Homo-oligomer: A and B are copies of this chain.
Amino acid sequence: MTDTVSGTTSDTTNDPTTATPGAQRRNAAPAAPDATANGAHALLHTLVDSGVDVCFANPGTSEMHFVAALDGVPAMRGVLTLFEGVATGAADGYARMAERPAATLLHLGPGLGNGLANLHNARRAGVGLVNVIGDHGTDHVRLDAPLQSDIAAIAGSVSGWVRSTSSPERVGADAADAVAAAHAGQVATLVLPADVSWGDGGRAAAAPAPSPREHARPDAVRAAADALTSREPCVLLIGGDATRAAGLAAADRIAAATGAKLLVETFPTRLERGAGVAQAGRLGYARDVADHQLGGAQHVVLVGARSPVAFFAYPDRDGDLVPPGARVHPVVGRGGAAADALAELADLVAPGTTARTAPAARPELPTGPLDVGSTAAVIGALLPEGAIVVDEAVTSGLGLPAATAGAPRHDWLTLTGGAIGWGLPAATGAAVACPDRPVWALQADGSAMYTISALWTHAREGLDITTVLFNNSAYAILRGELAQVGVSGYGERARRLLDLGGPELDFTALARGMGVPAVRVRTAEELADALRRAGAEPGPHLVEAMVPPLVA
């Protein structure tokens, strides 16, 4: 389903196994500046020469020259989405797996607004992308036309880098700067006025220089080593690139040698898991679980993770999860070289220790009516080798980590920023990044409805995505949260706002309406059959698993 690669303008491809990140490709020949090219051509050439060769788009009138220019730059793959939140979530999922940024193409302030929630998730993940926003022509702004709004203010709330490009001559250099910012893990928003896009004299630019990365300072490593070897209770909390196999192995050696409790941050950007990979539990989302995991610690060592805080405020409880009196030792930040820091730490405190890895183990295939436990067991029993799991299962997914711990090696992507409606879009991007790997989107019902049109893009692009849609007819997590925030009893009118029944959503009809084959299942046997069939056929599938909510 990928486009044919042209060698004339770029040596990049859509195959992540051969492509190298743009930041490392500085010596690739840049597209020659072309006085006859318009700004849109210069932008596209600069992006592909910087290794950004996929654009998740939902264009409008201001972006028509960008769209038209796609015909002249075949190395750029344009992927149409029917809603901007699908485009931004796809760019997030893509970058997590391809390890290089994608571009988006959005229409003015309202289009950016529609994409904002998943840009928020990308920002919280430290995932870079080049967010291209078409704007009115420069001269049109004085007229305050109906679609005008304060793009800079909206973009500023989610972007590490924002620039409005002022001329076709500048667009290449600005795009290269945007790519550099994206390589540094930022949402880089490039505002492209329509007249810059259509204007002549577009000048492409060479790929940007590699972005410097934060490395752990020696004294921070030393202090962490001292804490870990103090014989006082210690938690090692890891995130960023430390949740890939190498980082996990180093972290496990440290934990084994020192007795520290190893935890992965609650919502890792990309967690490598399964048989042969060192395991680590995740810090709980539920406040009581997290308190229990961290309770008694006198040191909290942070490698690629932020100091732990509660997701939400609850009455009469401190939101800071660090136990009173414990000391926090930050070694390196979320976007820094966390796996490298763990390797250094392991050399200091665990020189003779080898990492333990998860043994291959799958649950027995259960039988009978589905519930959260049996659904997880079926998934654990059948998850294919090399799968990419996109996890927005929320309460229906509580059994998944245990059930899949010994499955064949896979990657697990999670909802880093808490803004729901991320799963189906992120699966889109992950599948575009890795066309040879199966993507399993494990998706809650309420969350799915925010960006349900992602299924259409799954179908159009023929993506190998199996969506397991957990239909429990409720915002079940909110029922739990009601109790957490101190509401002890509530009535029918409140309950109605947390209930997705009446009418019950039929996700098989929704999927078929967007061209995705779908089946509804109620038993473990039916779920297993449906997953096997989905795996045997190319293209996307949706399996709607009817599961009772955990919180009634």
Contact = CB atoms under 8 A, between A and B. Distances in A.
B116 A487 contact: no
A453 B449 contact: yes
Interface in A153-174: 153-154, 156-158
B143 A478 contact: no
Given A64-B482, A83-B450, A144 B110 contact: no
A287 to B, nearest CB: 11
Given A137-B313, A153-B157, A446-B82, A497 B109 contact: no
Interface string A318-344: 011000000000000000000000000
A120 B124 contact: no
Interface stretch (A400-408, A510-518, A530-538): A510-518
Interface in A77-133: 78, 80, 82-83, 85, 109-111, 113-114, 116-117, 120, 124
Given A315-B195, A449-B82, A481 B64 contact: yes
A79 to B, nearest CB: 9
A206 interface: no
B143 A114 contact: no
A309 interface: yes
A194 B503 contact: no
Interface in A433-453: 446, 449-450, 452-453
Contacts of A485: 61, 64-65, 194, 198
A503 B147 contact: no
B494 A71 contact: yes
Interface stretch (A274-282, A362-370, A416-424): A416-424
Given A85-B114, A503-B456, A140 B313 contact: yes
Nearest to A416: B146
Contacts of A242: none
Interface residues of A, number: 100
Contacts of A149: 120, 157-158
A64 to B, nearest CB: 5
Contacts of A512: 506, 509
A515 B514 CA distance: 17
A150 B493 CA distance: 31
A144 to B, nearest CB: 7
Contacts of A419: 110-111, 147
A213 interface: no
B120 A113 contact: yes
A503 B494 contact: no
B198 A145 contact: no
A124 B57 CA distance: 25
A460 interface: yes
A422 B22 CA distance: 39
Interface string A449-487: 110110010011000000000000000001001101111
12 contacts: A59-B498, A64-B481, A68-B490, A82-B449, A110-B116, A113-B117, A136-B312, A144-B306, A145-B309, A153-B154, A449-B453, A505-B513
8 closest residue pairs by CB, A with B: A503-B515, A137-B313, A113-B116, A509-B513, A110-B419, A71-B491, A140-B313, A110-B117
Given A145-B319, A146-B311, A510-B514, 8 more contacts: A85-B114, A120-B147, A124-B146, A145-B310, A153-B157, A198-B485, A198-B486, A460-B502
